[in-house]
Amino acid sequence: MKFVVDSGSTKADWLLFNNKQYLGVYNTLGLNPEVLNTDVLVERILQNEEIANLRTAIKKIYFYGSGCSTTHSKKVMQDALEKVFENADFFEILEDTYAAVYATCHDLQPGIVCINGTGSNCSFFNGKEVEQAVNSLGYLAMDDCSGVDFGRRLIRAYYFNTMPLDLKQKFETAYNLNADFIKKNFYKEPNPNAYLASFLPFLIANKDHSFLQDMIADSFQFFVDYYIKQYPGYANVPVHFIGSTAFLLQDEFKSILKKNNLIIGVFYQKPLEGLIELHKR
């Protein structure tokens, strides 16, 4: 039996296969080895009792995850998986870009593949290999046009008093905005990136507000200019999107894509369907 895992920083989906037969999906909290150590990763995996019960039956694991782009982070992730699945003898650990490519670039046609969820990334798939123009430095420096980005923008707008009063009152009702509480989540609690992304539902619920429309447009135009347009020939291939941020804001994203004369590709909240088809072959 094998697991195919698609993990962001917030949530991970575990697809179970027996040979080529797809059996179902399980869920855990997100597993990002850039922000979580081996012990925390193991703990999160074992919190799912069904996965824990399968730990000796699993022989292969294909792991596509946020934060799995460096040799060090891949080792941290593999160490955690080896501790849980003691009988597994095959591990393939790739960054989540590959899951997005397999799901969106149908028949392996070239395209630009963007991940806009808790974090963000943008790659070019040439039909054979994934090319990366921007080496992401993670949520502290990058992750533009993501849940992290919008959470940061909302908090800053609130504290710099640039958020309109009507929106500010709604924001105060929806969240604990005490400075000590926010700083505790930034510096004392695990997954500060997921905490920042927890403000995204507020933006989605109130996205028709002109202030937030401008925020969305500014963030996505930056993403177009400094991520998508890094690739030569960016205007000649479809631009695909994976992730909750892109999926829930796809109307706004499509409007900016049209303004930039870009080819609109597909929008998926998750790459599960594409991964299932790939691993059933």
- Mean pLDDT of all residues belonging to the chain: 95
Give the pLDDT of the chain (281 residues) as one tens digit per residue. Answer: 999 999 988 899 999 999 889 999 999 999 999 999 999 999 999 999 999 999 999 999 999 998 998 999 999 999 999 999 999 999 999 988 888 898 899 888 999 999 999 999 999 999 988 999 998 888 899 999 999 999 999 999 999 999 999 999 999 999 999 999 999 999 999 889 999 999 999 999 999 999 999 999 999 999 999 999 999 999 999 999 999 999 999 999 999 999 999 999 999 998 887 788 888 87
263-268 β-sheet, strand order:
130-131, 120-125, 111-116, 238-242, 263-268
170, burial (CB in 10 Å: exposed 0-12, middle 13-18, buried 19+) = middle
DSSP string computed for 182-202:
HHHHHHTSS-HHHHHHTTHHH
The reported pLDDT for the residue numbered 190 is 84
> Tens digits of per-residue pLDDT, 49-82?
999 999 999 999 999 998 998 999 999 999 999 9
